[in-house]
Amino acid sequence: MTALQIEHLHKTYTDAYTGEDVVAIGDVSFDVAEGEFVSVLGPSGCGKTTVLNIVAGFVEAGGGTVSVAGRPVQGPGPDRGVVFQDHALFPWKTVQGNVTFGLRMRGVPKAQREATAAEYLQLVGLAGFEHRYPHELSGGMAQRLGVARVLANEPAVMLMDEPFASIDAQTRRKLQEDLTRIFQARRPTVFFVTHDVDEAVFLSDRVVVLTGRPSRVHEIVTVDLPRPRDWRTTGELDQFRSTRNRITDLLAGDESHAVADPA
C-alpha cells in the first residue's frame, strides 16, 4: 500500500536579491510504500528539504501533486510528523509533556497519554527522564525525544530533515543504530532527507538520488541489506560498499555534468 505519492512535483521561487525566478524543483516523482524507509539525497541546493517541506505542508508546491494515504496534501496535518534538525522541542515542557502534547490536542485521555508516552520513551531509551526538561538533555537525547514525540502520534508518514547533521560523529552513529532498531520494532513509514551517503544506505530500504537544480529523480537505488543492522556488521558487507559506491558515482557524475554545462 502506498503511504506517500509524489507526482511531477515542481517549485519555482523568486530570488530575493535579483528578483529573478529560480526553478528549485524541476520534475520529481516517487512513491513511498507503507512501512518503508526511503532516503532522499542529492547535490547541495538540489531542493531535498524543499520537497520535504512541501510534503509536510509548510511550503506550497508550484505544480504536481503530493498525496498521503491517498489524500492530497493541502497544508500541515496530523497524518505527517516532522523530526527537525534542531529537534524543535517545547523548552517549557518536560520530556513527558513534549511527547503527550499532540495526544492532548487530539483529546486522548490523560491515562492513555501517559501510557503511550511511557511506551515510546522506553522505545527510544529515555525511560527515567520523563520529568527532565529539554535543556537537561544531550543533543542525542533531544533527537530521540523528537522521534518519540512524532511516533506517539502514529502519523501516516514520519518526515526527518537531516536530524543528525549537527551531532558529533560518534553520537551520530549511535543514533543511526537506534533509529534502525526503532524502525525494526514499529515499521513506521519514513521519508528521510540527508546529505550523507553512508547514512542513507545504512538506514534505508531505497534511496532516491536527485540531480542538481532544477532537480529531478536521477535514480532510485534499492538497498539490499538485511535487518536488523549495526555499523560493525553492516558497514563491512560487500553489498553496503557496492551500494554506497553506486550512489557516490551517481552524485559525482551529476556534479561533473553541472560543472561542464554552463547553463
* Res 98 pLDDT > 70: yes
Kindly report the average pLDDT of the chain as a whole number.
91
Distance between CA atoms of 263 and 142, rounded to whole angstroms? 43
pLDDT band for position 40 (cuts 50, 70, 90):
very high
Of how many residues is the chain composed?
A: 263
DSSP state of 85: T
pTM of the model: 0.90
State the pLDDT at residue 256: 42
Task: Tell me the residue type at 125.
Answer: G
**Which of 13-27, 137-151, 177-191 is the least confident region?**
13-27
What per-residue confidence (pLDDT) applies to 263?
32
- What is the grid cell recorded at 115? 501510557
Q: Is the peptide bond before 214 cis (omega within 30 degrees of 0)?
A: yes
d(CA 188, CA 154): 8
Q: Output the pLDDT for position 187.
A: 94
**210 has which bridge partners?**
217
Q: What is the pLDDT of residue 106?
A: 87
CB 216 within 8 A of CB 4: no
Between 259 and 212, the more confident residue is 212
Query: Binning pLDDT at 50, 70 and 90, where does residue 128 land?
Result: very high
Average pLDDT over residues 195-207: 97
Q: Cα(25)–Cα(62) distance, rounded to whole angstroms?
A: 9
For the chain, domains (ranges, CATH) are 1-74+187-262 (3.40.50.300)
Q: pLDDT confidence of 15, banded at 50, 70, 90?
A: confident
Mean predicted confidence (pLDDT) in 230-237 = 95
pLDDT at position 261 over 70? no
CA 184 to centroid of chain Cα atoms:
16
The pLDDT assigned to 259 comes to 36
Q: Per residue in 235-260, pLDDT tens?
A: 999 999 999 999 999 998 765 444 33
Mean pLDDT of 88-112: 92
pLDDT value, residue 254? 60
